[in-house]
Amino acid sequence: MKLIHSIFSGSWAAGLKVITIRCESCQRSLTLRHASAHKAGIWMREHWYCSSACFASAAEGELAGLVASRREQSNRIERMPLELMLVSRGLLSSTEFREVRDEQKEAGGEIGELLVRRGAISEKQVTAFRATQWGCPVYALPENVKEPSIHIPRTLMQFYSMIPLHYAAATNLLLVGFVRGVEYGLLYAIEKMTGCKTEPCFVTPSDFRTQMQQWQRMETDYGDKPLREVKFDSVQSSAEMARILSSYGAHLEAEEAIIEKCREYLWARLKCGSNDVDLLFKAG
């Protein structure tokens, strides 16, 4: 975001196309050559802001609205608990059911992982039953899977136990693998951030860990790499988040900002030419 210190209108060489854009916040207008329009100010939700102050004010309102919103209803559909599915299929006895429930109450943990640890069921069986719960397929990862060109922040992958698996440019479809349950709010945010469609599936915990470790090693071997994501765990107010977002936008000369919410995180993406930078704020 190149800040505009003075609004002007100039005379361009004959034949060059010019456009006039108006700041959504202060209503000042700016006349620019069409090829240079993206280099001034910053865009957010199809509105243009001429300065960091104007953008910060709009971003604060956007962030406050997302903090107050609740996009969790899709994940609250009643589904048969995994352990009851296993009992109904004869893979888990009533005694084992009570024992694993007691263990979960005492030590915590996820039911499927506890059952695998006890040897009551295999990891692949747990994944298959989870996929049945959500009406999704299971995806078996081949070796040496290349990370898709559609970038998702590592923080969100780890927090939601999900990985982008395959992007088909012909259909603009991104296949997203989950370990425990489908996060529809996250899929919605990915679609808004990237402009692609998403399709959920399930992967085993082992495949998830192996793939994440492989991509991490590749990043380490690559050496110096451009900034891709910054996480903020202690920022609470919308005003402070907006100030940080505006500061990064000005420093990176961002052309556009996209902000969405996926349950525990507010996800802001600054589009800076060929390099996108993600800012993640813990929503509390």
Residues 186 and 249 in one domain: yes
Residues 232 and 129 in one domain: no
CA torsion 124-198-65-158 (nearest 10°) is 40
Residues 123 and 201 in one domain: no
Tell me the mean pLDDT in the region 110-138: 88
Q: Is residue 209 assigned to a domain?
A: yes
pTM: 0.82
Tokens of 31: 């006349």
Tell me the mean pLDDT in the region 89-104: 81
Residues 117 and 182 in one domain: no
The pLDDT of residue 70 is 59
Identify the domain containing residue 125 by its residue range: 78-133
Q: Is residue 6 assigned to a domain?
A: no
SS (H, E, C) 180-245: CCCCHHHHHHHHHHHCCEEEEEECCHHHHHHHHHHHHHHHHHHCCCCCCEEEECCCCCHHHHHHHH
Instruction: Say if CB 136 and CB 202 are below 8 A apart.
Output: yes
The pLDDT of residue 284 is 62
Instruction: Say if CB 130 and CB 202 are below 8 A apart.
Output: yes
Residues 271 and 212 in one domain: yes
Q: How many domains is the chain built from? A: 2
The pLDDT of residue 185 is 92
Residues 93 and 177 in one domain: no
Residues 119 and 161 in one domain: no
Q: What sign for the dihedral angle of Cα 168, 169, 173, 175?
A: positive
The pLDDT of residue 41 is 86
Residues 109 and 167 in one domain: no
Whole-angstrom Cα distance, residue 49 to residue 57? 10
Average pLDDT, the chain: 83
CA-based R_g, the chain, Å: 23
Q: What is the pLDDT of residues 38-67, one digit of tens each?
A: 567 899 999 999 889 999 999 999 999 998
Residues 164 and 229 in one domain: yes
Residues 171 and 255 in one domain: yes
Q: What is the pLDDT of residues 165-199, one digit of tens each?
A: 999 999 999 999 999 999 999 999 999 999 999 99
% residues pLDDT > 70 (the chain): 85
Tell me the mean pLDDT in the region 86-108: 81
Tokens of 180: 């425990």
Q: Is residue 106 assigned to a domain?
A: yes
Residue 12 has pLDDT above 50, yes or no: no
